[in-house]
Structure 1
Amino acid sequence: MSTPMKRIGIDVGGTNTDAALLDGSKVLAAVKTFTTADVTSGVRTALKELVAKAGPAAEGVTAVMIGTTHYTNAVVERRNLGRAAAIRVSLPASASLKPFCDWPADLAAQVVGGVHLVHGGHEYDGRELVPMDEAEVAAAARAIRAAGVNAVAISATFSPLTAACEERAAEIVRNEHPDCHVTLSSALGRIGLLERENVALMNASLIDLARETTQAFVDAVAASGLNARLYITQNDGTVALAEAAREYPVFSFASGPTNSMRGAALLAGIENAMVCDVGGTTADIGCLVNGFPREANNVVEVGGVRTLFRMPDLLSIAVGGGTIIGSDPITVGPRSVGYRLGQEALVFGGSTVTSTDIAVASGLIDLGDRSKVAHLDPAFVKAALAKIHETVAESVDRMKTDATEVPLLAVGGGAMLIPDRIPGISEVVHVEHSNVANAVGAAIAQISGETDRIYRDVERDEAIAMARAEAVESAARAGADPATIKVIDVEDLPLSYLPGKAIRTRVRVVGEAAALAPEAAE
C-alpha cells in the first residue's frame, strides 16, 4: 500500500501569507499571517507558526510548495525589474512593429536594454524566410554586453513551429556574452509574435528577482528545520522544482488564484464548478474543469502588456477584505489597504472603512473589535453590502459560458462577502478551511508538461499521439514520475490555410513529483 505524503503549501498574497500542512488530502494544520513588505520574512513567519502549531505532525514533511505574487506585483508596481535586451530574428519581415512597441511607457523606460532586429526566421509553413545572419546575431550580443545588460529575450517568426533560429541564436549569444541569461520565446508562448516576444522580455526582466526570491525561499525552508524539497507553483495549478521555476518566473504570475481553485476542488470534493476566491485585495473568479482551472485562450494583459501563454481564465475584481468603502456616494474599491488591513481597518483600531468592517457590522463574521463599527449607519452598511453582492454576482455571470446552473465554491479569507444566492448558480458552497484554500491548493499541486505545436503531413490521431509523447517527456524532465503521468487536456485544430495536412495540437499532462510519488513511499 502507498502511504500519504506530507506536504506544506504556502501562498503569498497581497494581504495574507497562508500555510497549510497536508497528509495526503487531509489538512492537519493551517495558519494565516499578514504578508510582509519583503515577502520572504512573511514566509519564514508562516512556516515557523505552522510547524509550531502542527507539533509532531510536522515530522516527515517531504515537500514545501510556495505560490507567490512577487513577480506579478513587480510588473504591476514597476519595481525590482531588470533591464532586458531584445533580439528578434525576423528581417526582412516585421520591421514596422519593433520589440516593446506596445509596452506602457513607464514600464518600457525601466526594462528596455536594447532592441536588435536580425535577418532570419521561418514562414508559417516551416520554410526559411531567409537564412539567419549569424554575424548580425553576434554583433547584437556584443552590443548588449557593452551596454552592461545581462538578460536577453530571443524571438523568431513562427518559432513554435520550429525553434531552430532561436536555439542557434542563443548559442551565439552565450559564446559572445557568457554572463548573459537567455530566454527563448518558443519556450514560453504560442503563435503570435508580439505576445510571445512580450512574455519572453518580461521573463528576462524578472530573472534577477526570481533568483533572489527563490534563494530566499530556499533559505526560509532551511531555517524551518524541515528536510524537504522546495517547489514553486505555476499558473496552471502545477509545480516546478525551485531550480527550474527560477528560470521562468512568468509561469508563476497567476499561481495564487489557481492554487485557490485547486484547493477549493479538493476541500469541496467538486471538480466542475465556478470558484470565487475573495482575498484581502481582490476577488478572483474562474471556472474549474476536471479539478483544474479553465485556461485562457485569448490575450491576457499583465501590467498593461499583451501576452499569450499558459494562464488561467480569470476575472479579478476589486472586492476583498481590505477593499476601501466610500460613503457619499457608496463605492466599493478599487483601492485597498492591502497587507495593512490589521492596522487600518476600523475593527482593528484604524480609521479606514473596509469590506471587513462592513462584514463585521453586518454580523457575517466576528473579527477584531465589533464596538469600533457600532457607529456606522445601518442603512450605509446594508447598501454597501448590497453593492458588494451585486458586483460579485455580475462578475460570476460574466465568467459563465452557458446558462446551465452550476455550484459556486466560495473560498478565501473574505468568502463571507459572497452572497448566498446568485442567478445561474445552483448553490454557493462554503467549505472547511476555505480561508486557506490557496495554501491547500499549493500543497496538492502536481508537475505538468505541455505541448502546443503544429504537425504537418500526419493524421489527427498520430499528431495527438506525438504531442502526448512530447508532453509526457516534458513533464518527466520537470521531475514528474512517468508512472503517474496522465493527460488532462487535449485540443486540436486543423489549419486549412497551410499546404498539405496541418494540425495544431495542444496536450497537457500532469503527474506526481518523482520524489513524492506514491510508489516512493511503499
Structure 2
Amino acid sequence: MKIRVGIDIGSTHTDAVALEGKNLIAADKVMTTKNLTDGLLNAITKIIEKLGERKNEINALMIGTTHGLNAIHQAKGLNRVATVRIGLPAGEGVPPTFDWPENLSRFVLYRYMVRGGHEYTGEEIVPLDEDKVKNIADEVKGKVDAIAITSIFSVVNAEHELRVRDILRERGIDVPIVLSHEIGGIGLLERENSTILNALILNIFDDLIHKIRQLLSKLGIEQVKLFFAQNDGTVASEDFIKQYPIFTVAGPVSNSIRGAHLLTGIKNAIVMDVGGTTTNVGVLHEGYPRESSSIVEIAQIRTNFRMPDIYTMPLGGGTIIDKDTIGPESVGYALFEKGMSWGGDKLTATDVAMVVKGFLIENANPKSVIEKFGLEYLNHIYNKMKIMWENAIDLMKSSKDDVTVIIVGGGSIMVPDKLQGASEIIRPENAQYANAIGATLTKVGVTIERTFSYDQTPRELAIKNLTDEARKLAIRAGALDGTIEIREIEELQIPYLPGNSIKLKVKVVGELF
C-alpha cells in the first residue's frame, strides 16, 4: 500500500505525518518559522528521513499552508496587478479597491472600467467595448504580473470575461489572467475583491511549489504528486492551486475539522482546535467544515469565495496571562523558553492548565508557578479559560441542545473533560496531528456557485449543467473521473431579483488515486 505524507503549518508548530492507508506510521513536529517556507521544508525533510527507504513508497504529499493569507496580511512580495471591471455604464458608482488598505491597494497599479456586462437572466446589458480592451492590453503590457477581470453577473453569463481574456491574449499579454466567475459568488464588489486577491498571490505559490519540487528532487522522490488543502476541507492538485491559490487561505483550519471527522468517524459536531496561539472553533457538517454564509473579511477586504465558518479566540497553549487578562499576546513557539514552568518569566495558559488539571509536559516544573501565584488565583484563571471555551461552543451551536465537541490540536490537553453546552467531550488518539491527518486523508473537492433564473433555465437542466461543470473542474483539480460523487446541492432563492432567481451551489468530491 502506498504512503501519503501530510504537512500542516500552524502558528506555533508545523506538523508532519506519514500514513499507510489510515495507519499513522510516522509523525513529527517542527517549529513554525517566521519564513513559513523554511519550517515547511524542514518538516518535509524530517518526515522523509523517518521513513528511510520507505520514502520510495510515497505517492502523494499534501500541504496545508497559510502562505497566501500571510502574504496578504503582511502586504509583502505580492504581484503587480491590473484590474478590469466590465460594467459601464451601470457599474461605475464604486470604483475597484476603493476601500482597500493602502498597503495592499498600492499593488493594484491599473484600474479600468469598460462597457459591458449581463443581466441577472444572462442577457447582455450593452455590447462589450472591445476597442477599450485592446487599448488596455497595449497600456499594461510588460508592466504587470497578473490581470483580474470582473463582469456584472458573470456568475450567470461569463461571456464577456472570457472575451476580454481572449483579446488580451491576442494582443500579446502573457501574464496570468484571473476571471471572477471562477473565484467568487454573486456580489460584484466582493467577487472583484476576491479575484484581485487571487491575482496578488499567484507568484507566492509559484515560488513555493518550485522550492518544494526542488527539495523533493534533492530527496530523490521527485515523482511524488503534490496537493494543497483547500478552505472547504478538500485538496486540489498543484496545477489547480497555481491558478486558484486564494482557495487555500483557510486550509489549515479546515484540515483540523476534517481531521476530527477522520479520527472519530463522527460526521456532525463542534470542533475545537487548540493551538499555541489561538483556539479555532468550527462546525463539522456531514464530515466537512460548515461554510460561512456571511461576507468574510481578509485584511479588512470583503470577499465572497468559499470559507469555513470559524470563530477564533486568543486562547492557546502559549497565551500570556497578565493579572486578570487572558491574551491576546502569546509566546507561541517560544513556550519552552518563556513559559514560567520552564524557567521563563511569562505565565501562560499551559502553566495554568498543568497545575489545575494535573498533567505534566516534558521538562516542566509547575511547582514554581504554584509558589508564585497560589492555587486560588490559578483556579480562577483556569475557570475564565473554561468560560471562554464554553462561550465559543454556544456561539457556534445551531440550537439550544447540547452537542458533541471534538477537541484536537497540540493544546487540546488543556481543555477540561466537561464543558457547558457539550453533551460529550471527545479527544481522539493522535489529536495533536489532526490537522496534518485531515490534509492527508481527505478527498479532492470542488465547489461551484452560479445564479440561474428558473424561468429561463429549467431547474433540472440548471442542476445538470452545474454538476457537469463541477465534475470537469474536479478532474482538473486531480480527482479520478470514476470516483467523483455529488456531496452537496444547495438552492437559495434570491428575493430581490425577479424571474424565480436562484443561487445554486454544487459540491463534488473524488478520490486522488
1:132 aligns with 2:128: yes
8 Å contact kept, 1:74–1:81: yes
1:431–1:248: structure 2 CA closer, same or farther, 3 Å change rule?
A: same
Paired position in structure 1 for 2:192: 197
Q: Say which SS state the counterpart of residue 243 (structure 2) adopts.
A: coil
Matches for 1:437-476 after TM superposition, within 5 Å: 437-456=434-453, 457-476=456-475
Q: Give 1:505's aligned residue.
A: 504
Query: Does 1:231 find its partner at 2:227?
Result: yes
Q: Which residue of 1 aligns with 2:163?
A: 168
After the TM superposition, which of the residue ranges 215-224 and 387-396 deviates more from structure 2? 215-224
Where 2:14 maps in the other structure, the secondary structure is strand
| Alignment partner, residue 414 of structure 2 | 417
- 1:205 deviation in Å? 1.1
Superposed displacement of residue 17, structure 1 = 0.4
Q: Which residue of 2 aligns with 1:481?
A: 480
Deviation per residue, 1:15-59 (Å, 9 max, x gap): 110011111122112111111122222222222322333445544
Q: Distance in 2 between matches of 1:245 and 1:203?
A: 10
Deviation at 1:324, TM superposition (A): 1.9
Question: 1: distance between equivalents of 2:400 and 2:21?
Answer: 36
Q: Which residue of 2 aligns with 1:520?
A: none
Q: Quick one: which amino acid aligns to residue 137 of structure 1?
A: V
Equivalent pair of 2:277/2:316 in contact (CA under 8 Å)? yes
Distance 1:342 1:164, change over 3 A: farther
Distance across 2 between alignment mates of 1:79 and 1:379: 46
1:185 matches 2:184 = no
Q: Alpha carbons of 1:465 and 1:46: their partners in 2 closer, same or farther (altered >3 Å)?
A: same
Q: 1:291 to 1:224 in 2, by over 3 A?
A: farther
What does residue 22 of structure 2 align with? 25
Q: Distance in 1 between matches of 2:499 and 2:75?
A: 47
Instruction: Tell me whether 1:403 sits opposite 2:400 in the alignment.
Output: yes
Cα distance in structure 2, aligned partners of 1:303 and 1:177: 33
Asked whether the 8 Å contact 1:11–1:438 carries over to 2, the reply is yes
Partner of 2:58: 61
**Any conservation in 2 of the 1:324–1:355 contact (CA below 8 Å)?**
yes
> Which amino acid is 1:418 matched to?
V
Q: Tell me if 1:345 matches 2:339.
A: yes
CA 1:343/1:411 → structure 2, altered by over 3 Å: closer, same or farther?
same
Describe the superposition over 1:212-259 as per-residue Cα deviations: whole angstroms up to 9, x where unpaired: 112122223333333411111111111111122122111001000101
Aligned length: 507
Residue 274 of structure 1 corresponds to 270
| Whole-angstrom distance in 2 between the partners of 1:247 and 1:26 | 33
Counterpart selection for 2:205 from 198, 204, 210: 210
Gaps of 5+ in 1: 517-522
Shift of 1:497: 5.7
C-alpha offsets along residues 136-189 of structure 1, whole Å, 9 cap, x if unaligned? Answer: 12222333236x222221111011111111111112223335242211111100
Greater displacement, 406-415 / 170-179: 170-179
Task: State the percentage of identical aligned residues.
Answer: 38
Shift of 1:461: 3.3
Q: Which amino acid in the other structure matches residue 82 of structure 1? A: N
In 1, the alpha carbon distance for the partners of 2:163 and 2:332 equals: 45
Report deviation, 1:281: 1.8
Change (3 A) 1:107 1:502: closer
Aligned mates of 2:138, 2:507 — CA distance in 1: 39
Change (3 A) 1:25 1:131: same
Aligned match of 1:115 in 94, 111, 120?
A: 111
Deviation by residue 1:363-404 (Cα, 9 ceiling, x = unmatched): 344243215635441333222222211111101110111123
The amino acid that maps onto 2:6 is G
**Residues 137 and 173 in structure 2, CA contact (< 8 A), matched pair in contact too:** no
Amino acid in the other structure paired with 2:176: H
Q: Residue 345 of structure 1: CA displacement?
A: 2.6
Distance 2:77 2:330 in 1: 22
2:255 and 2:401 map into 1 onto residues whose CA distance is 25
- What CA distance in whole angstroms lies between the structure 1 residues aligned with 2:440 and 2:214? 19
Alignment of 1:12-411 (within 5 A): 12-55=9-52, 57-109=54-106, 111-145=107-141, 148-226=143-221, 227-327=223-323, 330-362=324-356, 363-370=358-365, 373-377=369-373, 378-411=375-408
Q: Distance in 1 between matches of 2:401 and 2:56?
A: 46
- Structure-2 residue corresponding to 1:430: 427
Q: Which moved more, 1:375-384 or 1:419-428?
A: 375-384
State how far apart, in whole Å, the 2-side matches of 1:35 and 1:422 are.
30
Secondary structure, counterpart of 1:306 in structure 2: strand
Residue 491 of structure 1 corresponds to: 490
CA change 1:164–1:365 in 2 (3 A) is farther
For residues 348 and 96 of structure 1, what CA distance do their matches in structure 2 show? 59
**How far apart, CA to CA, are the structure 2 residues paired with 1:205 and 1:160?**
22
Inter-partner Cα distance in structure 2 for 1:280 and 1:289: 25
Amino acid at match of 2:145: N
Shift of 1:323: 1.7
- Matched-pair contact (CA < 8 Å) for 2:26–2:51: yes
What amino acid sits opposite 2:411 in the alignment? Answer: G
In the TM superposition, residue 76 of structure 1 has moved relative to its aligned partner by: 2.0
- The CA distance in 2 between the partners of 1:220 and 1:38, in whole Å, is 16
AA in 1 matched with 2:236? A
Letter paired with 1:472: R
User: What amino acid does structure 2 have at the position aligned with 1:215?
Assistant: H
Write the letter of the residue equivalent to 2:286: N
Shift of 1:500: 4.8
Distance 1:54 1:347, change over 3 A: farther
5+ residue gaps, structure 2, are none
Q: 1:125 to 1:241 in 2, by over 3 A?
A: same
> For 2:86, what is the secondary structure of its paired residue?
strand
- Secondary structure at 1:246 match in 2: helix
Is the contact between residue 271 and residue 290 of structure 1 (CA under 8 Å) also seen in structure 2? yes
Question: Is contact 1:230-1:241 (8 Å) kept?
Answer: yes
SS in 2 for 1:79: coil
